[in-house]
Chain A
Amino acid sequence: MIILKYSKSGDAKYIPHVDTLRVLLRTLRRMKIKVEYSAGFNPHMLINMSPPLPVGIESETEFLEIQTAAEAEGFSELFGKNCPKGFSALKIWQTEKSPKITANTTAAQYSAETSAFDGIALSSEEPKLYALSAQKGKLIFTIACGNNNLRPDRFLESLAQKYNIALNTREIKITRTKLFTGTRENLIQIDNTII
Chain B
Amino acid sequence: MNSCDKIFSSIEKAARYTGGEFNSPEIKYGKNTVSFCFCFPDMYEVAMSNLGLKILYSVINNNPDTVCERCFTPSDEFAAALKNAGERLFSIETKRRLTDFDMLGFSFQYELSYSNFLYMLDLAGIPFYARERGEDYPLVIGGGPCMINPEPISDFLDLCVIGDGEYTAPALIELYKKHKKNGGKKAVFLAEAAKIEGVYVPSLPARKVKKAMVKNLDEAPFPEKFLIPNIEIVHDRAVLELFRGCTRGCRFCQAGFIYRPLRARSVDTLEKQALKIIETSGYEEMSLSSLSTGDFEGLRELASRLRPHAEKLNFTVSLPSLRMDSFDPEMTENSRKNSLTFAPEAGTQRLRNVINKNIIEENITATLTDAFGRGYDNVKLYFMLGLPTETMDDVSGIVALADKIKSLYRQITAGKGRPLRLGVSASVFIPKPHTPFQWAAQIDMEEARKRQNYLREELRRRKVNFSYHDADSSEIEAILARGDRRLSAALVKAYEKGAKMDGWTERFRYGAYIDALNECGIDKTDYLREYEPTEKLAWDFVDIGVSKEYLKNEYKKALAAETTADCRQSCNGCGIEDCNQKL
Binding site for B on A (CB under 8 A): 10-12, 14-16, 19, 22-23, 25-30, 32, 37, 41-42, 55-56, 82-86, 170-171, 173
Contact B8–A14 (Cβ < 8 Å): yes
Inter-subunit contact B14/A14 (CB<8 Å): yes
* B16-24, B147-155, B460-468 - interface stretch: B16-24
Our pick among A83, A86, A171 for the contact of B9 (Cβ within 8 Å) is: A171
Task: Determine the chain A residues whose CB is within 8 A of the CB of B284 once the complex forms.
Answer: 26, 29
Q: Is B283 an interface residue (CB 8 A)?
A: yes
Q: Which among A19, A32, A82, A84 has the greatest number of chain B C-beta atoms within 10 A?
A: A84
User: For chain B residues 1-31, which have a beta carbon within 8 Å of chain A?
Assistant: 1, 5-6, 8-10, 14-15, 18-22, 24
Find out whether the CB atom of A19 lies under 8 angstroms from the CB atom of B15: yes
In the A-B complex, list the 4 residue pairs whose CB atoms are closest, starting with the nearest. Answer: A85-B20, A26-B282, A29-B282, A11-B18
When distances are taken between beta carbons in the complex, the residues of chain A under 8 Å from B19 are: 11, 85
CA distance A83 to B281 in the complex (A): 11
Categorize the interface residue count of chain B.
20 to 34
Whether B515 is near chain A, meaning CB under 8 Å from some CB there, is no
Measured between beta carbons, the chain A residues less than 8 angstroms from B230 are: 12, 15, 19, 23, 84
Contacting residues, chain A, for B9 (C-beta < 8 A): 56, 170-171
Interface CB pairs A-B, < 8 A, 29 = A11-B18, A11-B20, A14-B18, A15-B230, A16-B231, A19-B15, A19-B231, A19-B232, A26-B22, A26-B228, A26-B283, A26-B284, A28-B282, A29-B282, A29-B283, A29-B284, A30-B279, A30-B282, A32-B279, A32-B313, A37-B314, A82-B22, A82-B282, A84-B20, A84-B24, A84-B228, A84-B230, A85-B19, A171-B1
In the complex, besides A29-B283, A56-B14, A84-B24, 12 extra interface pairs with C-beta distance below 8 angstroms are: A14-B14, A14-B15, A16-B15, A19-B15, A19-B231, A26-B281, A27-B22, A29-B282, A30-B282, A37-B314, A85-B19, A171-B6
The answer to whether B231 and A15 have CB atoms under 8 Å apart is: yes
Please state if A30 and B281 are interface contacts (CB–CB under 8 Å): yes
Residues of A within 8 A of B282 (CB): 25-30, 82
Instruction: Tell me the total A-B contact number using a CB cutoff of 8 A.
Output: 72
Closest to B20 in A: A85
Instruction: Tell me the nearest residue of chain B to A85, going by C-beta.
Output: B20
The smallest beta-carbon distance between A75 and chain B, in angstroms, is 16
User: Interface readout for B117-142 with A: 1 if CB under 8 Å, 0 if not?
Assistant: 00000000000000000000000000
**Nearest chain B CB to A33's CB is how many angstroms away?**
12
Q: Which residue of B lies closest to A10 (CB)?
A: B20
Which residues, 236 to 289 on B, are CB-close (under 8 Å) to A?
A: 279-284
Whole-angstrom CA separation of A3 from B412 in the bound complex:
51
- Report the bound CA distance from A74 to B5 in whole Å: 34
Interface contact A11-B8, CB-CB below 8 Å: yes
Residues of A within 8 A of B281 (CB): 26, 30
Instruction: Name A172's closest neighbour in chain B (CB-CB).
Output: B1
Tell me if B1 and A173 are in contact (CB < 8 A): yes
Contacts of B336 on A, CB cut-off 8 Å? 41-42
A86 with B280: CB separation less than 8 A? no
Looking at the assembled complex, report how far the CB atom of B297 sits from the nearest CB atom of chain A, in whole angstroms. 31
Closest to B229 in A: A19
Contact B1–A84 (Cβ < 8 Å): no
Min distance, Cβ B553 to any Cβ of chain A, angstroms: 51
CB atoms of A85 and B24 under 8 A apart: yes
The docked-state distance in angstroms from the alpha carbon of A50 to that of B1 is: 28
B314 in contact with A12 (CB, 8 Å): no
